[in-house]
Amino acid sequence: MYAYEKKTKYSYAFRTPEELSYICRRNALNIPVSKDVSPLSRKVTVRTGNGRLTLKNAIAVHPMDCLDALPNGSPSSLTKRRWLRFSASGASMIYCGVASVFPRSGGRLCISNYNIQEYKTIINEMRAGYSPVFILQLSADGMPSEADRSLLPSLFARSAEAAFEAGFDGVDVRLPRSGESQPEYKVLLYEILSAVSAVSPKCGILSLRYISDFSDAGPDFISALSGVGLSVISVTAGSQEEEPDVCMPANIPQSSISVSPLTAAEKLLSEAQRIKTLAPDVCVIASGLSYFKELAPFVASGAIESGMCDMVGFGRMALANGSFADDFISCRTDAKKSCVACGKCTKLYLSGETVGCPIRDQSIYLPILRKVTDKK
């Protein structure tokens, strides 16, 4: 009898790639599992305004809003520590963090002319000895309720200019929905991407964190986005605030979630595959794979090999294991270093606290988690 057939309290109990593959087949889940991890070390070509950029492997660090900025929106010592860990992880594309286009938005980063030098100093240090591509995600998080959303294209463009001046290789756009109809949202997203593209250098990478609802991205819309010079689409769904079990499948009691983690993981992979079919010339990054813990490289390799995506991105795993990409490529699957998909980093975020891994980075983040737990 397999471990998952014995265990009922938690959703995850796969010990080997064979067990995981078996349960996926048994439940007709389109989650490919491959013991050959060589697809992770494949070079990936990403288009830019003046040609193509080649990345050394197919692993990315996802953008994470860790709420550790200084009050003025500049990176703190914790921000710097986290970014340096990411840059040394072995991943070829690093989404360093999330910067709001609105200043002073509750611990979030914000980049503008007044603090460019702080960002530039850290980026220069990250480049010493490493060769990843560095991208800064721009978002409308922290937007005042009275703000005019029609101003967002110019605000995103202003922040993008500052990011490129600071030394980032690219910018990523994330626009959460806020009451717009689907047509209104699509128009606004297109206008933002067009404005950012207009101020991007020819060698710059333009990325979109696509928040799918599994129905709204048709061929015409994706074609229009590709037309503004989009380089990368990083696919996710839902939000940490409203649907964390959809966008970040976790190893938590089944009674605490609305959808099975394996089902959520399959939906995320299938959506990445759908977007890849619609945008074959754009680099597509899949998400949600930290749920598979030390088996993640086998699912990631299977997804790339089967054509579901060009790259695989990891957020929670990058917080837990500072060498995760190198470990995956070398097939070093150490459960003692891996993310355990416990959801505690998400709990920190939803509590408005500084985010990190309380399990693998205990000296800093476990006291913060205890403070959150004590409040309750």
As averages over each run of 10 residues, the pLDDT of the chain (376 residues) reads 39 80 90 96 91 94 94 94 95 95 82 94 88 93 80 96 97 80 83 95 92 66 82 83 71 64 90 91 94 95 97 97 96 89 91 94 95 78
Q: What is the pLDDT of residue 82?
A: 96
Q: What share of the chain is helix, strand, coil (3-state, %, to 5)?
A: 45, 15, 40
Helix (H, G, I), strand (E, B) or coil at 240: coil
Best CA proximity match to 116, nearest among 58, 79, 167: 167
Residue 343 CA to residue 359 CA, distance in Å, equals 11
Phi, psi for 226 (deg, rounded to 5): -60, -30
Q: Which CATH class is domain 3-337?
A: alpha beta
Residue 11 CA to residue 183 CA, distance in Å, equals 37
Whether residue 315 contacts residue 76, with contact meaning beta carbons closer than 8 Å, is answered with no
Q: What is the pLDDT of residue 215?
A: 56
Q: What is the pLDDT of residue 159?
A: 97
Q: What is the pLDDT of residue 8?
A: 37
pTM higher than 0.85:
yes
Q: What is the pLDDT of residue 333?
A: 81
**Token pair listed for 355:** 């985010």
Residue with the two structure tokens 């949202």: 185
Spans of all domains in the chain: 3-337, 343-376
Give the distance from CA 216 to its chain's centroid: 20
Residue 152 CA to residue 173 CA, distance in Å, equals 11
Residue 63 CA to residue 365 CA, distance in Å, equals 19
Amino acid at 349: Y
Amino acid at 250: A
Best CA proximity match to 210, nearest among 176, 244, 169: 176
> Which helix (H) or strand (E) segment is 187 a member of?
helix 182-199
